[in-house]
Amino acid sequence: MQRLCLLLELRKIYDYRWVARFLVFMLSFNNIVYAQWPKSQIKTLQQGTTFDSIRTQHAKVGGLFLEVKSYFEEYSPVKPGSVTQLYFQGLNKEGELMVRYVFTHALLDFHMETRLTYPNKGKQELWLDQSRRVPLFVLLDLYYKENVLEVDLL
């Protein structure tokens, strides 16, 4: 009888621990579900046999804010033939945006990285014409405030 009472008492304590763990898990899960994810814009274009996917998002220092994937019919409809990426690196002393430009071309087995600067609070015109018959025109509005680079695809 004593063992049965002890077993029931331990079971009661175990149930309270389980409920407490479950509540802590649900509260932490709730914060994950409602967390602020970066605003992302996606645009697709087709020029002749080239299909482009353009994705922009707000970025903190070191983050990706523009990615252009180009799919060439002669290469693969599933794998991108070239990928252009722009990463936000911070502000320089003059208040300009420092950007790391990364270009990879699978057909040519070519990879290039360089650094660029853009003025803050302005529209940027990008003409991407690496190995393309017709250059791809991308218009961005870049604005740095409160430790976040805000990017709008126009």
pTM as predicted: 0.71
What is the per-residue pLDDT for 38?
Answer: 53
C-beta separation of 61 from 91 below 8 A: no
Rounded to an integer, what distance in angstroms lies between the CA atom of residue 91 and that of residue 121?
12
The Cβ-side half-sphere exposure at 112, using a 13 Å CA radius, reads 11
Low-confidence spans in the chain with pLDDT less than 70: 1-2, 4-39, 130-131
- Using DSSP, how many helices (H) and how many strands (E) does the chain show? 1, 9
What is the per-residue pLDDT for 122?
Answer: 83
Q: What percent of the chain has pLDDT over 70?
A: 74
Rounded to an integer, what distance in angstroms lies between the CA atom of residue 64 and that of residue 80?
18
